[in-house]
Amino acid sequence: MDALDALLNRKSVPRLMEPGPDEQQLEILFKAALRAPDHAALRPWQFIVFEGESRAELGDIFADALAAREPGTSEAALEKAKGKALRAPVVIAVIAKVSEHPKVPAIEQKLSAGAAAQNILIAAHAMGLAGIWRTGAACFDPYVRKKLGAVNEDEIVAFLYIGTSNGTPPLPELEISDYVSRWEHFSGPEN
């Protein structure tokens, strides 16, 4: 697929079917991720792949975290949390591994991890796959963070759900002029 086609037509797909990315496609997804802009070449990224049975373990982590966060959560809600990791053939946790750097604040390292996540979504789309970026309370949960190896300033920036789309969702129609202005015509709100 043409690069602009991929950029202009990617659409998130919430319900994803088999097949997921095969080994070769996974490698391409991560090669794309590792091309994310990266100030001072800190490589502030870690990716964890959950596929097949290991998705159930991620589901257990989600459910255990919810139970600890909200004691008294119903069995039905815990089962629902468990099932979340099964919404796609492959789930990729994207973690910003943040380190101290005199010129690269934490926000830049987290943005770099976000760019890596977006590269994965675009590359998946370009290969005929589909995906969606999800976060939710699990991303910020201390138990989930611990289980996934996020420490100190690290951030779980995404759970990327990747698989095959079961249809082509419509693209939203957005007006560029609602979001873009040239400085000489700038008419933003006054402070």
Ligand X SMILES: Cc1cc2nc3c(=O)[nH]c(=O)nc-3n(C[C@H](O)[C@H](O)[C@H](O)COP(=O)(O)O)c2cc1C
**What is the per-residue DSSP string for 97-120?**
-----SS--HHHHHHHHHHHHHHH
Q: Which of 37, 136, 142, 149 binds ligand X (CB under 6 A)?
A: 136
Q: Which is nearer to ligand X, 27 or 143 (CB)?
A: 143
User: How many other β-carbons are positioned within 10 Å of the β-carbon of residue 170?
Assistant: 7
Using Cβ positions, the residue closest to ligand X within the complex turns out to be 12
Q: How far is it, in rounded angstroms, from Cα 188 to Cα 191? A: 9
Q: Give the SS3 label for residue 132.
A: strand
Per CB under 6 A, which of residues 67..96 are in contact with ligand X? none
Q: Does position 133 bind ligand X by CB under 6 A? A: yes
Of 128 and 136, the one with the shorter C-beta distance to ligand X is 136
Q: Which is nearer to ligand X, 105 or 114 (CB)?
A: 114
Is-contact 45 97, C-beta < 8 A? yes
Residue whose C-alpha is closest to residue 95's, from 57, 41, 131, 48: 48
Residue range at the interface with ligand X (CB under 6 A); choices 60-68, 78-86, 122-130, 132-140? 132-140
12 binds ligand X (CB under 6 A): yes
Among 22-30, 95-103, 128-136, 182-190, the segment contacting ligand X (CB under 6 A) = 128-136
Q: Which is nearer to ligand X, 22 or 136 (CB)?
A: 136
Among 11, 39, 43, 69, binds ligand X (CB under 6 A): 11
CA 86/CA 20 separation, integer angstroms: 12
Least CB distance to ligand X at residue 135 (A): 4
> 132, 150, 156, 162: which one contacts ligand X (CB under 6 A)?
132
Q: Interface with ligand X includes 135 (CB under 6 A)?
A: yes
Q: Nearest approach, Cβ of 12 to ligand X (angstroms)? A: 3
Angle at 111 between CA 19 and CA 61, to 5 degrees: 50
In contact, 136 and 125? CB cutoff 8 Å? no
Tell me how far apart the alpha carbons of residues 106 and 114 are, in angstroms, rounded to a whole number: 12
- Positions touching ligand X (CB under 6 A) are 11-12, 132-136
